[in-house]
Structure 1
Amino acid sequence: MTQAPPAASGLLSRALADARSPRVPRTVPYLPERAFPWGEPGLHPAGAGGGVDLDRVLRLSLAAPRNAGGRLRPVASAGGLHPVRAHLLVGPGCSLPPGRYAYDPRAHRAHPRGRAPADAPPGAVVVLTVTAARTVAHYGHRAWPLLLLDAGHAAAAVALAAAPADVRVSLDADGEDLAAAAGLPRAADQQTRWPGVEPELPLAALWLPSADGVVPSPAPLTAWAALPCAVAPLPHPGADNAPPRELAASRHLLTYLVAGTDATWHPAARPTPVTDETLRTRRSAAPSDLAHPPAPDLLARVLATAEGARPDGPDWAAAVGGDAPGLLTTAGLLASGDARPTLAQWAAGQRWIGTAGAVLLAHGCPADAPPSLIRRSHLAAGYAAGIAQAHATALGLRSRPIGSWLQADLGAALGDAPGHDWIVHGLALAGPSDPPLPAPPPLPGKEERP
């Protein structure tokens, strides 16, 4: 485990202020998704039994099945860019043989990257990483908080798919511990060990223990981290075709954020009535489909789910309009008045938010927050939004995550001291539209004409 450099906190504070500022990003044309970089033949995750069915878990969370319009993934991502990758550390009791694997979501295959340690914990550890280039190309200096949110959404997707089995989620494990466990080089050794390969930055991990009554170990990464670095991916020319200054800065910032912390593992749960079918069908709605207010009782249930998803996450509130506009929390009314027009301005000018049925808001993360709080706030906000979006889908509500927030100092807007309570993430909600009224019957004595 390493400690972040002393200057990291100041660097991150400045970068956070810049990401929240109205400065227009410097971007490049759209970068296409690159081919999966591991060339070894992949294994189908459905094997001969085992307590952890990785085929089911991955199909319901990260797989990208092809349909008539291309490929749709069941997990939300800023700009539809999907920068998150998954490394599977498979021990005894799984549908894949023990070993390290890289997961290809397009082919739904697990590519072997090395053996498992003799003392591998039962079940599977999933290490989530991000590649930054495509998101930076699209969002510039605003990209790195969005990468954290994306990783949180992916962690929620895996946790929901693995439930109701025992699932543990860590959003604060040390980055070098995660890299070592996944068989990736340390950030400082990346260019030397794997030249020409786009770096993967590890951000989160999940442990799916096998269903044999074994109590989860508090340190499921330890045995894996003792192994040497695993099989390298194939180099990819042009992997850094994003604005070079912003790309380098984003990678450095994310490396600082994950340095020097001890992992805590929190249990995950699937809200009722979320089912496997919910996970197969959940999708973000178009902005034009989000204007109808959700029923108050359903809104309250989804808000409670977001609030309770992570004990270490930010606070949540809901902005509503209608006859009694206000900002609601699970404890009651936080402020009166319609906040949605202001939210539309803060959310990078997305005007549709001003008429959204309701908007859930994750808020906190002060301007001078330490690196660990910045990381945890964004990962936990993405995680909670992912859980809440699945719950909303199961309740018949439409939803759409909102990741970009500029100058969104909620505390200052409510009369508190500036800089202490910022919006980190959002989730727009809407109920189904009212069915059209039936046509009135014809007047007596009048014939209807075709």
Structure 2
Amino acid sequence: MTQTPPGLLRRALADARSLRVPPTVPYLPERVFPWGGPALSLAGAGGGVDLDRFLRLSLAAPDGSTTGRLRPVASAGALHPVRAHLLVGPGCTLPPGRYAYDPRTHRAHPRGPAPADAPPGAVVVLTVTAARTVAHYGHRAWPLLLLDAGHAAAALALAAAPHGARVCLDADGAQLSAAAGLPGPAEWSERWPGAEPELPILAMWLSTAHQPVPATGPSAAWAALPHATAPTPQPDAASAPSAELAHTRQVLEHLTAAPTHPAPTWHPARRRPAPLTDDTLRTRRSAPTSDLAHPPAPDPLARILTTAEEARPDGPAWAAAIGGEAPALLTTAGVLAFGDARPTLARWAAGQRWIGTAGAVLVAHGCPADASPALIRGSHLAAGYAAGVAQAHATALGLRSRPIGSWQQADLGAALADAPGHDWIVHGLALAGPADPAPSAPPPPSGKEERP
């Protein structure tokens, strides 16, 4: 990969946070799943890692879905740009090998063999296809793609119980491409012309027991293999990308080439927050904006704020804006500021007025204007991950929720009289309590006259 042009990522971050409005373009429909070959069931016999259950509870579209838009995992614009490549070693319900997962059919498509020294369990490499998100959000797309990948990683981690998973948000993109059998972004159009590029964002490792992470990482053995089978070319993906799409791919390529440590870090996913169950994962959905005005009770709000704060301790800080008789901006440590911040948050979130009256609004904040590439990537992935865990916890507690991904001029630090440019809102999650029960109807008349 070429060296990052000076100022590229800082300008991209400032532009995504600016008031510049993306151009209006026609809706780009979802492309056909490109990975061909046999479509295998994930419910094979034997194996401690049940990939069928794992993916059905996380990324799979509901049975009977015709559009694939209404999935349990939140996604900006319901566009679902995240794809999963399964690197299956011994001890799983699929034979060892590389696979591409189709969430619409809940099937795995073989893409090549496994290395002889593949670690037990399965490595999941999450990639994104940027075209549809860019068509909808323009220059604001790349942060949303990172947030979407974080939400998908949270869904996978929650579904991995009881075995648990290790989550890696800082793996080098080139190594992830090699592990998944994909060419690098610069090689894609030459090696696989007519196929839409997939950019690797993060990885996870599921194992049957509490196995130590290999010294070189769970994906290293896979990266030594040659490229796997190619996707099916699609005529509408063969044309040259727009300037905005090419820029988005360039930004993501350079962000994922910036690991935060000499070696990738594979953090164990935290346990599911109680009382979250498999049924919760099957039924979670983002609520319509019209259903988000009822304030949540203080106790569940505090529990969900704690969940967001603790889901990724290496990520941004979290606060909750509430209204009512004692409006304030709350943290797990106490009051950050007094007053109702929700109208300001509504203005910062692309002018979505419903946020000004939402029951509560959780915000992830940090990622300064001069953040390093590693911090930009990690902040957005960790914020999406924490919001995904918090949203599932909200569902388990009977609350309604909706992520808020796009933020403009949301310099929270400056609004709180701190130095400008150092504390920006990265992500949000609106919460609402259950609606007040409707008044019970009077009993029907008995037909007999009642007397005193």
TM bucket normalised to smaller: over 0.9
The one-letter code matched in structure 2 to 1:29 is P
Which of 66, 72, 76 is 2:74 aligned to?
76
Aligned residue number for residue 265 of structure 2: 264
Look up the match of 2:165.
Answer: 167
Whether contact under 8 Å (1:179, 1:186) holds in the other structure is yes
- TM-superposed CA distance for 1:187, in Å, is 1.7
* Deviations 1:156-189, CA, capped at 9 Å, x for gaps: 0111101221310001100001000000001221
Q: Provide the residue aligned with 2:353 in structure 1.
A: 351
The worse-fitting range, judged by mean Cα deviation, of 51-60 and 184-193 is 184-193
Letter in 2 for 1:326: A
Secondary structure of the corresponding residue to residue 238 of structure 1: helix
Closer, same or farther: CA 249–323 of 1 in aligned 2, 3 Å = same
1:216 aligns with 2:213: yes
- The offset of 1:65, in angstroms, is 2.2
Q: 1:413 to 1:241 in 2, by over 3 A?
A: farther
Asked if the contact 1:133/1:242 (under 8 Å) is kept, the reply is no
Which of residues 34, 37, 42 is equivalent to 1:37?
A: 34
Percent same amino acid at aligned positions?
77
Q: Give the superposition deviation at 1:66.
A: 3.8
**Cα RMSD between the aligned structures?**
1.8
Indicate the residue corresponding to 1:378 in structure 2.
Answer: 380
Shift of 1:272: 1.2
Residues of 1 paired with 2:107 and 2:30: CA distance?
A: 17
Aligned match of 1:191: 189
Q: Secondary structure at the match of 2:235?
A: coil
Q: How does 1:166-315 map to 2 (within 5 A)?
A: 166-211=164-209, 214-218=211-215, 219-239=217-237, 244-261=242-259, 262-269=263-270, 270-315=272-317
Moved more, 155-164 or 60-69: 60-69
Paired residue secondary structure (1:100): strand
Tell me the amino acid that sits aligned with residue 267 of structure 2.
H
Shift of 1:68: 6.8
Distance 1:260 1:334, change over 3 A: closer
For structure 2, which runs of at least 5 residues remain unmatched after alignment?
none
Q: Deviations over 1:231-256 (max 9, x none)?
A: 01011111277970110000000000
TM-score under structure 1 length normalisation? 0.95
1:68 & 1:122 partners in 2: Cα distance? 33
**1:421–1:166 distance in 2 versus 1, CA, 3 Å:** same
Q: Indicate how the Cα distance of structure 1 residues 355 and 260 shifts in structure 2: closer, same or farther if over 3 A, else same.
A: closer
Q: Are the aligned partners of 2:196 and 2:237 in contact in 1 as well (CA < 8 Å)? A: yes
How far residue 286 of structure 1 moved from its aligned partner, in angstroms, is: 0.2
Cα distance change of structure 1 residues 54 and 426 upon mapping to structure 2, 3 Å threshold: same
**1:271 Cα offset (Å):** 1.2
CA distance in 1, matches of 2:44, 2:65: 29
- Counterpart amino acid of residue 319 in structure 1: A
Query: How far apart, in 2, do the equivalents of 1:330 and 1:311 lie?
Result: 13
Q: 1:68/1:174 Cα in 2 relative to 1: closer, same or farther (>3 Å)?
A: closer
Distance change in 2, residues 1:322/1:231 (3 Å): same
* CA shift digits 1:187-230 (9 cap, x unpaired): 2211221111111000010000123x533335101100000010
Unaligned runs of 5+ in 1: none
Which residue does the alignment assign to 1:47? 44
Name the SS for the 1:28 alignment partner.
Answer: coil
1:396 aligns with 2:398: yes
Q: Please report the TM-score for the alignment, with normalisation by the length of structure 2.
A: 0.94
CA 1:248–1:6: 2 relative to 1, 3 Å: closer
